[in-house]
Amino acid sequence: MSNISKEQLLANKLNAKKSTGPKTKLGKEKVSMNAIKLGIYAEHHVMVGEDTEQYKGYVDLMFKTFEVFDAISGLIIQQIISIGWRLQRIPQIECGVFGIEMSEYHRSYNSPSFVKIKHKEFHQTIKKDLDRRSELMGAAYVKDCSGGDRMMKLNTMEGRLLSRQSNLINQYLKYKKSKGKET
């Protein structure tokens, strides 16, 4: 607890009484959505290695696109944002998977699906050029798949996310229209 004078404490209490929040209906509606927006900005949506500022910029852009006008619209927008952010990861995962496959080609040289590359520096060059975040995301995905068809599974996941995002956007637009909001 800080040491402040009795006068400062009294001044703080008087100032706090002046701050009573919004007075108009529009103002009250606007601030009632702050908790939902702050939840969407939470950094738990950002994985280790991802740029927090890039995520916040993405959320800002989405809030310019989609208006939060009540709790239900906020929940729909929250899902749209979450799915969109996950969709942005897929190309990195894809690069990581291909990078891992290329850097480990020597383990699968007997496999008919791989052609042995004879260039001596191939392994070191690819390994050095891999983006570390893509490599880690790819490795986590490869470990999770624990089998073949990794790219097919990734493609299926991407398709499902795109479908869910499209459905949510349509839901949002219908809901917004039903509430008499401009589209």
pTM exceeding 0.85: no
What are the start-end ranges of the E strands in 18-94?
Answer: none
**What is the structure's pLDDT at 65?**
95
User: For the residues of 136-175, what is the DSSP string, one character each?
Assistant: HHHHHHHHHH-SS-HHHHHHHHHHHHHHHHHHHHHHHHHH
Q: Give me the mean pLDDT over the 150-179 stretch.
A: 92
pLDDT tier at 106, thresholds 50, 70, 90: very low
Which is nearest to 84 in space by CA: 170, 167, 162, 173?
162
Q: Give me the mean pLDDT over the 110-130 stretch.
A: 50
**Averaged pLDDT score across all residues of the chain:** 75
Residue 105 pLDDT > 60: no
